[in-house]
Amino acid sequence: MGVNREQQLGEAFVEVADTLVDDFDVIELLHTLAEHCVRLLDVAAAGIMLADQDGQLPAMAASSESARLLELFELQADAGPCLDAFRTGDQVVNADLRANQQRWPRFVEAA
């Protein structure tokens, strides 16, 4: 018998909460969160960028090396779905990279 989505979500919350001790590693926590996002959201990969006090978005964690590289391409191009979402506050869905060639030309080329 498989584990249902609610059980998986509960397990993810417990695992994340278990890491919140005095000497927890923030980067390890973010990697764990990215891995849970892949499993719970049924996506191929996940990356996490968090704004710092200056409003910059460093790539903090990713579920895979390819996701990490994609985040770095986005930061280098200063364009892409994560940056658009951060800047506008709106959800950005990027189902087809080629369809967004004009929207993010440098990002699409690098990706």
Q: Output phi, psi for 49, to 5 deg.
A: -120, 135
What confidence score (pLDDT) does residue 51 get?
92
Residue 27 above 60 pLDDT? yes
* pLDDT of the residue at 1: 46
Alpha helix stretches (DSSP H) within the chain: 5-19, 26-41, 65-77, 81-88, 105-110
Residue 79, φ and ψ in degrees, nearest 5: -160, 150
Q: What is the pLDDT of residues 42-82, one digit of tens each?
A: 888 999 999 999 989 999 999 999 999 999 999 999 999 99
For residue 72, the model assigns a pLDDT of: 93
Q: What integer is the mean pLDDT of 77-105?
A: 89
Global pTM reads 0.77
